[in-house]
Structure 1
Amino acid sequence: MIDECPYRRVFTGARGGALRRSNFSRRFWRPAWDGDPDNPDPEARTPAVLAGFTFHEGRHTQRTWLADDLIPDVARAARLGHKLPGMADVYEHVTPEMQQRVLDALQARWESSVAQLTADERRHLVRVVPPDLAATITEGARAEGV
């Protein structure tokens, strides 16, 4: 589960530190979405997931999911580092219960998406995610008898 990640952040640099903006896109974002079509080894080549998909589109998607899961706007805004306009930020605050609802909603979406993967997709995903997250993919497969 995400809350069992050993670091403060889920996506980190090689030694658990914060990702730097200068290398995040090149080392993590673009390969995750575009694959590695130039890999000389066809067996190791990773296909594109959504070629051209941008980081900002991912943020929009997450906010949309949270709205779909009826997460309050103040909690959605806080999750993405946004401030609410006007007095909403003054009079409305994110509670620990709201934060837990956000985590629960995102965890449920993760588990649902992993459950829909084929065996080949699971094997590929396990190779590209952090080791602690990979365990949740293989545990989910065992629980479903895959």
Structure 2
Amino acid sequence: MAFWGFPGYVFFLTKPFTCMRPGELYALHRDYCHPNWPASDPDADQRKDGIERYGPVDLAVLRVQQQFQREFRKGPMKLFPPEYDSYRNLVLPAFLAELHSVLLDSHDHPYLFPAIGSRLLANANFDHHYWRPIADGRTASEEFTRVRLSQKQVVVSRRPLPEIPATSYTTKRLYLLRHAGKEWLDEDGHSRVAVETRMGHEVAGVEGLYSHVTLAVEQAIADSLQTRWLRFVASKGEGFSLPSPTPLPFDLQEWWKQQVKAARDLD
């Protein structure tokens, strides 16, 4: 939050709670996001299937339809199918569905996660310019001297940031957030087929051939992830807060208090 603001807050919750790959997150178009999908799906058959499956139930779902990758090492970013053609629907826990809705309403960017300055996130060197300062921490912005029109000027950053403390992910890879999401699903006892399907993998052999992820299984995943979230907020308490370098689109502190209350009601 302190580095990237509200989009960053939602991004770094979405990754472990959906197990999406980085390129899939960069390419998460608003047409494939909750609450727009499945009604907004441009493919008529896919739209029909999604409405028939999720329409009668109160489940928030997004669609992994594409990813941003480079066709050549130094070429421009382009849209491709997900890795291994792993098109899939991902149910969302209630708290994350709410955050996605708020984030979508806060901007008119075509993708859920705009970069700093509203640019295309896929074009950023994400690991260097986003992940490392967030995971490893950084010092507060300071004044610096520059020369303009032969005059020395003392200026501050156009986007001054407070000191950001290092996290437990110091020096570690972004991908570990995706792996953490898988560990949560394993710990909560979901079937291997359900977990690997959510990761975008196929299970080989008879197990993969004859097992299917039912709607009840998807509901169970959403419920267990919501419970895990509520246990986390309960451990932090109502006083937990995060600074933001940009104005927030809603009262995040009040929302957090409501989450803590829901956690207490759960107990």
- What is the TM-score when the length of structure 2 is the normalising length? 0.42
Larger radius of gyration: 2
Which structure dedicates a bigger proportion of its chain to helix?
1
SS of aligned partner of 2:236: coil
Counterpart AA for 2:197: A
- 1:140 corresponds in structure 2 to 259
Superposed counterparts of 1:3-14, under 5 Å: 3-4=97-98, 5-6=100-101, 7=104, 12-14=113-115
Pick aligned residue for 1:115 from 234, 247, 250 = 234
Counterpart AA for 1:63: K
State whether residues 193 and 213 of structure 2, in contact with CA within 8 Å, keep that contact through their aligned partners in structure 1.
Answer: yes
Structure 1 unaligned segments of length 5 or more: list them.
none
Pick aligned residue for 1:20 from 119, 122, 145 = 122
Percent of aligned positions that are identical: 27
- What is the TM-score when the length of structure 1 is the normalising length? 0.70
Which structure dedicates a bigger proportion of its chain to strand?
2
Pick aligned residue for 1:38 from 139, 164, 180 = 139
Corresponding position: 1:29 with 2:123? no
The 3 A distance-change label for structure 1 pair 57 and 18 is same
Structure 2 unaligned segments of length 5 or more: list them.
1-94, 105-111, 143-160
Corresponding position: 1:2 with 2:96? yes
Cα distance in 2 for residues equivalent to 1:78 and 1:21: 28
RMSD: 3.6
Cα distance in 2 for residues equivalent to 1:3 and 1:54: 26
Counterpart AA for 2:216: E
- For residue 32 of structure 1, report the CA deviation from its aligned partner: 3.4
State whether residues 74 and 84 of structure 1, in contact with CA within 8 Å, keep that contact through their aligned partners in structure 2.
Answer: yes
Higher relative contact order (CA 8 A, sep 6+): 2
**What's the CA shift string for 1:91-139, capped at 9, x where partnerless?**
111112212211211221111112112566x212x648x8579464232
**What's the CA shift string for 1:56-105, capped at 9, x where partnerless?**
22222211111110111111111111111223332111112212211211
How many positions carry a matched residue from both structures? Answer: 137
